[in-house]
């Protein structure tokens, strides 16, 4: 949802004359929405600005964003960070892997989701 939110915001800023660049991890969501400039890191969601506790990785990721601001030839320009999360790509299978859940676990997740949703609704309506 975060990636969709910033994609929609970037489109709005850009359409109103403000150049933007997104740094993110969810390539499909950002490109499906369609944005002006995007630095994609093939990292787990939550690491849009580079690897944790790795200043060099973060500096490189930001530098790619700055270069896009300067040099992107047109909209929907994506640049892929060359950094790898781990040499082994198996981490990618672990995110929201529903195939590994039993029917009982799925029912439990549903219950948890309903609770969380009620909390969010109460908070939203209190605003």
Partner 1 sequence: MSAFAPEHDVPIRYMDRTREYYQALGFAPYRWAHFTDAPFEPLRIPLARARVGLITTAAPFQPEAGDQGPRAPYNAAAKFYKVYSMPVDAKPDLRISHVGYDRANTVPEDLDAYFPLARLHDAVGAGRIGALTSRFHGAPTNRSHRVTMETDAPELLRRCREDGADAVVLVPS
H/E run at residue 77: strand 77-80
Q: Does 83 bind partner 1 (CB under 8 A)?
A: no
Q: Does 3 bind partner 1 (CB under 8 A)?
A: yes
Q: Does 79 bind partner 1 (CB under 8 A)?
A: no
Q: Does 85 bind partner 1 (CB under 8 A)?
A: yes
Q: What does the alpha-carbon distance between residue 90 and residue 97 come to, in Å, rounded to a whole number?
A: 12
Min CB(127)–partner 1 separation in Å: 5
79 to 11, 34, 93: CA distances (angstroms):
18, 14, 23
Instruction: Restricting to residues 5-44, name those near partner 1 by CB under 8 A.
Output: 5-29, 32-36, 40, 42-44
Size of the site for partner 1 (CB under 8 A): 83
> Within a 10 A sphere around the Cβ of 15, how many other Cβ atoms?
9
Q: Does 123 bind partner 1 (CB under 8 A)?
A: yes
Label residue 61 exposed, middle or buried (CB < 10 Å: 0-12, 13-18, 19+).
buried
Min CB(79)–partner 1 separation in Å: 14
Q: Does 81 bind partner 1 (CB under 8 A)?
A: no
């Amino acid at each position: 949802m975060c990636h969709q939110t910033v994609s929609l915001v970037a489109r709005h800023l850009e359409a109103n004359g403000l150049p933007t660049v997104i740094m993110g991890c969810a390539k499909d969501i950002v490109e499906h929405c369609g944005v002006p400039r995007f630095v994609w890191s093939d990292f787990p969601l939550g690491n849009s600005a580079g690897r944790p506790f790795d200043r060099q990785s973060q500096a490189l990721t930001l530098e790619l964003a700055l270069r896009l601001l300067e040099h992107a030839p047109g909209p929907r320009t994506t640049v892929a960070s060359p950094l790898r999360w781990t040499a082994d790509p198996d981490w990618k299978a672990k995110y929201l892997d529903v195939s590994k859940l039993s029917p009982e676990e799925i029912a439990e997740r549903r219950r948890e989701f309903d609770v969380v949703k009620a909390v969010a609704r109460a908070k939203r309506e209190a605003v």
